[in-house]
Structure 1
């Protein structure tokens, strides 16, 4: 698998479509795979949603929406139409009248929107409430990297209204309305998670940002540990939740995985608006047992968590570093009795950096760190989500044990520490 596609929520079910080569361990003829979930945590595989033997065009990355207003006029039965958009060098639409399980080509698969430039792909569609219209962004190479903007009243007829040109904006745009101090603000991002914040009037996107920020502190290209994140459409409570493709994880009969879903919010900071990311609250349903520690002073040579044996877990810790001037705390992951570990996560108090990236505690000197560890994945969150790192780590082959340790190089005040063992996301039948 690679890019997430057409992610949406419909009548209590989350639909995760994704780029899929069912007969290959490398990128090949693209299909749309499909999985469903009631909580974004426990998943069930479904039959392939888009198949090039049945659905015309190149079925590359794209978005999907629930047409709950029946603006398309395609409704025929109890279900609202679900429309997905894909195609290269021209956008095609496929629609479902059975709740997103099977799809038909609209108008025999003709191109319904033609972006500028020689190359284009990855349409993403979103509803614009003030104008009561649909908006689409599509990557294209006209005058360099950028995104074409289209609008439509009915998902079937599209007008190109704007183009945003930026060297950094390459592939898989996601366009999301997010609240900032009570005002709807728009976030435009690309495949590697670079983003800018601006305004959208239903036809044109405007931003005064000259350089983008990044969702993760470790942005990379296609095939890396974080790429092509997309937000769910039609979310309950208007939450913004995204999942990305992690391309470095692989087994003997499969390649690629999805990142754990994160809820994102736009926060005003002294440096301007920033996207903060944290795991969705539904992760709590995976917790099967918990190890906790009271507040205490952690000293060198007296590590914590040494009795833990775990492969898939969530670790939450907070530190009071307000009075500390030097030293580091280190989480050693998949540690062995021989002193080795597969990965370390280090906060340097004097430098104020987490794994080399500047991270500041809050106004009271409290720093929060949260880790999600699985056999092939590591996600790191800190400072309430301003810091987000997403990695593939092949723990099974790099580790000599399943231990976990918290160590320090100087006395540091721990205010809380909890480790949750996590159950599998898959039914036993999977």
Structure 2
């Protein structure tokens, strides 16, 4: 029996019942169900022979773990990270019955395909696991597939090390026969690509990102990706390597409402029977800024289904002698607060999340935990999602997004070193999402 209530297991962040998890794989939506596949070593607490674990949800919040989707005893090749799609047009010709084919892509040093005809619950290796696409270089992995509407073809991007880090692009009419068409080379681009069409000022553009969440924005004609960017940006303000608090984020395929929703691997949390968890899903938008197009992130709105109670404060004036929410009992919550900072020349305010875990805004420099977050119309708004072992911080309409693993705790306090006006504060205490 798995204890989903153990002290450091996130209550609204997915983690496996037991065993190791890392990268999200093949995220997709089909007939009312979100499917979250993930790298999984079910019998070990460290990285081991990879399976594809599987969890399903009706709302992106309440997850139920299913039997493993891919198993090395039944599916050939290295079952490492990859993507998945719903073939609603039956371009593959694999449909046999009521369900649309669902295809997932995996493998190292060559891409293999597995397909499902029962809604993504069980998979069969296509053509006994034959390699259907062979990237350049001697090392490659992590295929991600997406539909390219203007050409009516599928596109696939795969990381490889041909002459350095980069991505090979392939095109296919049917998901089974692939032509390599181009290569994007960049030293920064390493592992776990995600490739997403997004709308900017009413036009479709493309975002290419790697495992650290480093990304560039450009154009894609169905065969080649081009960008004018000379330097990439990062989705989170605290990017890190594999095993850190944010890695290998992937976007969902076939979402019905046009949203771009991603989840990542957080590798710094573990319990007695499990290692690793998923980040809380965020919706991402591409917005124009004075510095160019930028990705903005915000928690998916479905988090409201977890709200147990709500407390609203403000407007009020804060002083160094009057901390707010002084040691408020709070373990899992969603906090949003807006401060007037336009006339403040010095000092700082701090949300004390846990012992040793602070979120601080410096009024003189306009920095949030060291990152520039300029006031807008004299106001700064921050939002915190706090779980037993996880913290996500949002500000500047989602331009600021930080993902952390943290130690458990059960108190909350807001302090300021200078008189400051709090415009509003809303604290939602959150229920557990575990069934």
> After TM superposition, is the score higher than 0.5?
yes
Work out the CA distance in 2 between the residues paired with 1:321 and 1:394. 30
In structure 2, what is the equivalent of residue 105 of structure 1? Answer: 125
Which of 81, 87, 90 is the aligned partner of 1:70?
90
Which of 222, 230, 251 is the aligned partner of 1:231?
251
Which of 345, 370, 376 is the aligned partner of 2:389?
376
Q: Does 1:349 align with 2:357?
A: no
Runs of 4+ in 1 over 3 A off after TM superposition: none
Work out the CA distance in 1 between the residues paired with 2:130 and 2:426. 54
Which of 402, 409, 416 is the aligned partner of 1:408?
416
- Bigger RCO (CA 8 Å, 6+ sep): 2
Work out the CA distance in 1 between the residues paired with 2:97 and 2:23. 31
The runs of 5 or more residues in structure 2 that have no matched partner are: 1-20
Work out the CA distance in 2 between the residues paired with 1:148 and 1:260. 30
State the Cα deviation string for residues 251-306 of structure 1 (Å, max 9, x = none). 11110000000000001000110000000000000111011102111111101112
CA RMSD of aligned residues (A): 0.8
In structure 1, what is the equivalent of residue 260 of structure 2? Answer: 240
Q: Does 1:424 align with 2:432?
A: yes
In structure 1, what is the equivalent of residue 16 of structure 2? Answer: none
In structure 2, what is the equivalent of residue 391 of structure 1? Answer: 404
TM-score of the superposition, structure 2-length normalised?
A: 0.95
Q: How far has the Cα of 1:308 moved from its partner?
A: 2.2
In structure 2, what is the equivalent of residue 270 of structure 1? Answer: 290
State the Cα deviation string for residues 366-425 of structure 1 (Å, max 9, x = none). 211000111110000001100000000122xxx5xx221110000111111011111111
Secondary structure of the residue aligned to 1:7 is strand
Q: How does 1:21-420 map to 2 (within 5 A)?
A: 21-306=41-326, 308-334=328-354, 341-362=355-376, 364-395=377-408, 399=409, 402-420=410-428
Q: How far has the Cα of 1:307 moved from its partner?
A: 5.9
Q: How far has the Cα of 1:246 moved from its partner?
A: 0.3
In structure 1, what is the equivalent of residue 37 of structure 2? Answer: 17
State the Cα deviation string for residues 186-242 of structure 1 (Å, max 9, x = none). 000000000000000111100011110000000000000000000000012110000
The runs of 5 or more residues in structure 1 that have no matched partner are: 335-340
Work out the CA distance in 2 between the residues paired with 1:21 and 1:307. 39
Secondary structure of the residue aligned to 2:305 is helix
Work out the CA distance in 2 between the residues paired with 1:131 and 1:237. 22
Work out the CA distance in 2 between the residues paired with 1:163 and 1:368. 41
Work out the CA distance in 1 between the residues paired with 2:110 and 2:407. 38
Deviates more, 1:407-416 or 1:11-20: 407-416
Work out the CA distance in 2 between the residues paired with 1:360 and 1:27. 41
State the Cα deviation string for residues 134-190 of structure 1 (Å, max 9, x = none). 000000000100000000000000000110000000000000011111111100000
TM-score of the superposition, structure 1-length normalised?
A: 0.96
Secondary structure of the residue aligned to 2:388 is coil
Work out the CA distance in 2 between the residues paired with 1:269 and 1:203. 28
Work out the CA distance in 2 between the residues paired with 1:148 and 1:343. 41
Work out the CA distance in 2 between the residues paired with 1:129 and 1:412. 51
Work out the CA distance in 2 between the residues paired with 1:322 and 1:422. 32
Secondary structure of the residue aligned to 1:236 is coil
Secondary structure of the residue aligned to 1:238 is coil
State the Cα deviation string for residues 315-354 of structure 1 (Å, max 9, x = none). 10111212221111100113xxxxxx24111000101100
In structure 1, what is the equivalent of residue 8 of structure 2? Answer: none
Aligned pairs, number: 415
Secondary structure of the residue aligned to 1:237 is coil
Deviates more, 1:298-307 or 1:132-141: 298-307
Work out the CA distance in 2 between the residues paired with 1:34 and 1:160. 30
